[in-house]
Amino acid sequence: MGIIRPMEESDLDNVLRWRNHPSIRRSMLTQHEISLSEHTDWFKSIQSDVNKYPMIYEEDGVPLGYVNFNIIPESSSANWGFYSAPDSPKGTGTRLGLSALDYAFKKLNLDKVCGQALSSNKASVNFHLKLGFIEEGVLREQSKQGLKYQDIICYSFLREDWIRKLAHKDV
């Protein structure tokens, strides 16, 4: 298992390369190719936002994925987003997910992590369910890409789900 650490300026190149990779871009709610200046401005803008936690997942010092937690103001819940490096070995996503949940409940002291997946993104749908997220509902035709609408599926993971998972040594 690797570690979750805050994203730094030196991670900008890696994260932009991953984010613009077609296999990741098509999974996102915003799918245009991101320019370096847009990416740099985004990173600058979240530096001063106390509710945003952009993180890197790494194993043996090698960055293998990106995770973010956006805390919902005045709450102990956060929305998360993530991707594993497109060339990372199979199993990376699962380790990233488990490390991120551990970070969320232990370090950020959250009570709830929420995720959303486009219904066409079978990898993310299966991934949330494999980790133990519960489906909360469907936002019907919430996303529009070109002329095509898609549902967004909402998931959540509660602190008590995590405690149960730890008790069953399912991590």
Contacts with ligand COA: how many residues (CB under 6 A)? Answer: 19
> Near ligand COA by CB under 6 A, which window of 1-9, 33-41, 125-133, 157-165?
125-133
Q: Which of 57, 69, 103, 127 is close enough to bind ligand COA by CB under 6 A?
A: 127
Query: Which H or E run includes 161?
Result: helix 159-167
Annotate each residue in 19-38 with x if it binds ligand COA (CB under 6 A) or - if it does not, as one string.
-----x--x-----------
Q: Given the DSSP bridges, would you call strands 77-84 and 112-118 parallel, antiparallel or unpaired?
A: parallel
With contact defined as beta carbons under 8 Å apart, do 152 and 119 qualify? yes
80 binds ligand COA (CB under 6 A): no
Its sign, for the CA torsion 68, 27, 163, 70, is positive
Return d(Cα 47, Cα 115) in angstroms, integer.
Answer: 22
122 binds ligand COA (CB under 6 A): yes
Contacts to ligand COA from residues 82-111, by CB under 6 A: 82-84, 88, 90-94
In 6-115, alpha helices (H): 12-20, 22-25, 36-47, 92-102
> Near ligand COA by CB under 6 A, which window of 30-38, 49-57, 119-127, 140-148?
119-127
Contacts to ligand COA from residues 130-159, by CB under 6 A: 130
Closer residue to ligand COA (CB): 44 or 126: 126
Query: Which H or E run includes 109?
Result: none
124 binds ligand COA (CB under 6 A): yes
Return d(Cα 161, Cα 98) in angstroms, integer.
Answer: 12
Annotate each residue in 35-74 with x if it binds ligand COA (CB under 6 A) or - if it does not, as one string.
----------------------------------------
Return d(Cα 37, Cα 5) in angstroms, integer.
Answer: 24
